[in-house]
Amino acid sequence: MPEEGSKTSFIKELGEMVRIVIISLLIVLPIRFFVAQPFIVRGASMDPSFRDGEYLVIDELSYRLGIPEREQVIVFRYPRDPQQFFIKRIIGLPGEAVIISNGGISIRKGNEPPMKLDETYLSPGLRTGPDITVELGLGEYFVLGDNRGNSSDSRVWGTLRSDLIIGRAIVRLWPPQRLSIF
């Protein structure tokens, strides 16, 4: 027959475990749903910057407090199927014109002369096509994959509405040899 003291001890330990689980959930769940979430890269559209199978942490809070900036890598809901998530790099911002010409990209703001982008994150010799000019409205972004030949992006399906943006990549956790903070 078990002793009364061991029953009391077991109940206390069980109560302590339940308390720890509840406190952990109260801390982790809000962070997961409102601050950061995991994301696994699928496909080669962002090579060499991000490779298939890499595990990233996405910051969801920054864009609630501020606006996306050019060259940031973002995760968003695909405009043609919001159940899918894509990862791309912001090239054009609301109110700008994105000009793709002769393999390069220039940005024009209002009546100012176009500014050529220096895309150091691309593989050497990579060219962007086809030649197009896209005027961005309020709340619209132009996004491209870093692997331009293997990317379904704004050149294919048009501009990205700001309400589809989930957040920006802040940390690469896997694989360990490519661990980095952005």
- Average pLDDT on 65-88 reads 89
Q: Which two tokens stand for residue 160?
A: 């990205």
Assign residue 126 the CATH number of its domain: 2.10.109.10
Q: Read off φ and ψ for residue 104, nearest 5 degrees.
A: -115, 170
Q: Which domain holds residue 59?
A: 35-181
Does the residue 152 lie in any domain? yes
What is the per-residue pLDDT across 118-153, written as a single tens digit (0 to 9) for each? 888 877 878 888 989 999 999 999 999 988 888 889
Tokens of 119: 């895309």
Pair type for strands 160-161 and 140-144? antiparallel
Going by C-alpha positions, the residue among 169, 89, 93 that lies closest to residue 121 is 89
- Asked if the structure places residue 16 within a domain, the reply is no
- Total structural domains within the chain: 1
Q: What is the pLDDT of residue 66?
A: 79
Could you tell me where the DSSP H helices lie in the chain?
Answer: 4-34, 62-65, 154-157
Residues identified as active-site: 45, 88
Residue 74, in any domain of the structure: yes
Work out the average pLDDT over 149-177: 86
Share the mean pLDDT of the chain. 82
pLDDT of residue 28: 58
Alpha-carbon distance 56 to 54, whole Å? 6
- C-alpha 112/C-alpha 18 separation (Å) is 62
| 145 falls within a domain | yes
What pLDDT, in 10s, does the model give residues 15-35?
778 777 776 655 555 555 555
Is 4 domain-assigned? Answer: no
- Taking the mean position of all CA atoms in its chain, how far away is CA 53? 14
Q: How many angstroms separate the first and last alpha carbons of the chain?
A: 60
What pLDDT digit, counting tens, does each position of 66-76 carry?
Answer: 789 999 989 89
User: What 3-state DSSP class applies to 129?
Assistant: coil
What predicted TM-score, i.e. pTM, was given to this entire model? Answer: 0.74
Sheet holding 104-109, edge to edge: 115-116, 104-109, 96-101, 132-135
Question: CA 117, 122, 127, 129: dihedral to nearest 10 degrees?
Answer: -70
In a domain, 22, yes or no: no
